[in-house]
Amino acid sequence: MEQTVAAAHALFAERGYAAVTMDGVAAAVGVTKPLLYNYFGNKEQLYLACLERAGDGLVATVVEAVGHTTEPAEALRAGLRAFFDFVDEDRAAWAVLFDETLPAGGDIADQISAYRTRLRDLTAASISQQLPAERRERARTEVEALSTAVMGAAEALVRWWLKDRSMSAAEVAELLIKTVEPGLRMRSAPTPPKRSPGGSTPQ
């Protein structure tokens, strides 16, 4: 079964979901189409098996990178670098996870959304920990918005990079990090005490 998933994964990455048929997968693996249907049911279920392989690999890579850090800012940097490194080393996984020919809705869309949510939550945790403790609870919406923006920017940059290739994956990651970090540092600064109407700071 692993050989079948590997062959299907390669075909989906190369051609896109819409262009791959169960006949083509069966021929690539060297099995009959009835046997392929017996194992996976249909093309959607076969794709989900490939998607799980790619998505779990990406999430595990980011989690491991973040797990080796000791500071929130370092965790965000490590997570973004791991994200770009993963794509650089496994283009096929990226192609399966972010295939633009996938049908809208259904189990595949739900599973991809779940992986994106897990990555966003990892990003949100890193951002939240950079805020002063007294602001974290009140800043939930802000953190969710920022983490969604960061992950959206990361995905968009990968798409651009895969077409342009004028920069390395590491350079693109650093570009995003250096763009995001100043804003996060500013938002994580302690709130200055309010001044009285006379201009002095209350004691």
Show pLDDT as tens, one digit a residue, over the chain (203 residues).
788 999 999 999 999 999 999 999 999 999 999 999 999 999 999 999 999 999 999 999 999 998 888 777 788 899 999 999 999 999 999 999 999 888 888 899 999 999 999 998 888 887 777 666 766 677 777 788 888 999 999 999 999 999 988 899 999 999 999 998 887 776 665 555 555 555 555 55
203 assigned to some structural domain: no
CATH of the domain at 119: 1.10.357.10
- pLDDT at residue 2 in the model: 85
- pLDDT at residue 107 in the model: 92
**Of the candidates 169, 132, 171, 126, which has an alpha carbon nearest to the alpha carbon of residue 151?**
126
d(CA 117, CA 13): 22
| Count of structural domains, the chain | 1
- pLDDT at residue 143 in the model: 81
Burial (CB count <10 Å: 0-12, 13-18, 19+), residue 161: buried
54 assigned to some structural domain: yes
Residue where the block lists tokens 């965000």: 76
163 assigned to some structural domain: yes
Range of the domain at 64: 47-187
Residues contacting 197, CB < 8 A, separation 6+? none
- pLDDT at residue 43 in the model: 93
- pLDDT at residue 49 in the model: 93
52 assigned to some structural domain: yes
32 assigned to some structural domain: no
- pLDDT at residue 87 in the model: 95
- pLDDT at residue 68 in the model: 86
Tokens of 183: 């804003």
- pLDDT at residue 74 in the model: 85
Q: What is the pTM of this model?
A: 0.82
69 assigned to some structural domain: yes
22 assigned to some structural domain: no
17 assigned to some structural domain: no
| 169-to-31, 96, 133, 165, 184 alpha-carbon distances in Å | 38, 19, 34, 8, 22
